[in-house]
């Protein structure tokens, strides 16, 4: 049982390393960073306490929002999905990503207190 799991995981990693274009790997590294930041914030909240709650919420939501926006960017940039995003060029996707981030940061900074 565990054998098959390990073999599946190692095969997945191989496929990933070989067939994903570099751009997507860059975005994946960014996603990992965001996820770790969010997880560490949550850990602090669990260990130390929720004071000040608004700051925790804004930081956590910033991580979650950034993660979602980056995932959107990755989907839109992926050349394999080109068929579904005919009207949206990668540059347009990036511009959307930046605009959405501006709005997200405005809200986050407002709430961080």
Partner 1 sequence: MYPFEGLFSLLVLSLVLETQALTPTHHLTTTDVARLQAVLSQPFTDLKSAYYSVVGLSKLGIFVADADETCRFINSNLDPSSVESLFYAAEASQALSGCEIPVSNDTRDLLLATVSEDSTASQIHQSVSALSALGLPLASQEVVSALKARISKEDNVLAIILALQTASRLSQQAELGEILEEIEDLAARLDDLGGVYLQFEEGLEATALFVSAAYSLSDHVDMEPPLKEDQVIQLVNSIFSKKSWDSLSEAFSVASAAASLSNNRFHVPVIVSAQGPAAVSHSHPFLQLQVTDVLCQPLSSASVLVESASAVASKSAILNQAPFTLRDGVFELNFMASQPASGYYQFSVAITGDSRFVANHVELKVKVSTRVAINNMDLSVVDKDQSIGPKTTRVEYPTKAKASFMADSHQNFAMTFQLVDETTGVELTPHQTFVRLHNQKTGQEVVFVAEPDSKNLYKFELDTAERKTEFDSISGTYALYLMVGDATLENPILWNVADVVLKFLDEEAPGTIQAKTLYVPKPEIQHLFREPEKKPPTVVSNAFTALVLSPFLLLLILWFKLGANISNFTLSPSTILFHIGHAAMLGLMYVYWTHLNMFQTLKYLAIIGSLTFLAGNRMLAQKAVKRIAAEQSSRLAKYRSLR
Which positions lie near partner 1, rule CB under 8 A? 22, 25-26, 29-30, 32-33, 36-37, 40-41, 44, 48-49, 51, 89-92, 94-95, 98-99, 102, 105-106, 109-110, 112
Work out how close the CB of 111 gets to partner 1 at its nearest, in angstroms, rounded to a whole number: 10
Return the residue matching tokens 């511009």.
Answer: 95
The Cα–Cα gap between 70 and 98 comes to 10
Q: 82: which 2 tokens?
A: 């080109």
Give 12 or 94: the residue with its C-beta nearer to partner 1: 94
Angle at CA 34, nearest 5°, toward 77 and 43?
A: 155
Tell me whether residue 6 or residue 36 sits nearer to partner 1 (CB atom): 36
């Amino acid at each position: 049982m565990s054998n098959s799991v390990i073999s599946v995981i190692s095969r997945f990693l191989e496929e990933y390393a070989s067939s994903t274009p570099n751009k997507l790997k860059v975005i994946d590294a960014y996603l990992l960073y965001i996820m770790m930041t969010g997880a560490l914030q949550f850990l602090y909240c669990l260990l130390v306490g929720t004071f000040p709650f608004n700051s925790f919420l804004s930081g956590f939501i910033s991580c979650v929002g950034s993660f979602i926006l980056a995932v959107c960017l990755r989907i839109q940039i992926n050349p394999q999905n080109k068929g579904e995003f005919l009207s949206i060029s990668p540059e347009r996707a990036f511009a959307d990503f930046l605009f959405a981030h501006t709005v997200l940061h405005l809200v986050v900074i407002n709430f961080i207190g």
